[in-house]
Amino acid sequence: MPRRKARTSITIPQNLLTELDIKAREAGRTRSDLVCEAVSSYFASEEERLLAEGYIEMAEESHRNSKDNCGRWPEW
């Protein structure tokens, strides 16, 4: 099933628009294609960053909780 598309208007610096047009022409793609890919990539990397932060936080909490009441590591 094709994805539904919507038209939008954004404002970006002229030098960025020029670079976008050059890259799109070199790749044989549209400006919209490259912008969609860039936004999708940003969202994916942001999600990865948040997941990594969550894992680190969970590991630190697990580390704190695994110490016994005397502040020593348990002897497993």
Q: Is 25 left (phi over 0), alpha (psi -120 to 50) or beta?
A: alpha
pLDDT in tens, 45-56: 888 877 877 777
pLDDT in tens, the chain (76 residues): 677 889 999 999 999 999 999 999 999 999 999 999 999 999 998 888 778 777 777 777 777 776 655 556 556 5
Residue 49 φ then ψ, to 5°: -65, -45
**Three-state secondary structure of the chain:** CCCCCCCCCCCCCHHHHHHHHHHHHHHCCCHHHHHHHHHHHHHHHHHHHHHHHHHHHHHHHHHHHCCCCCCCCCCC
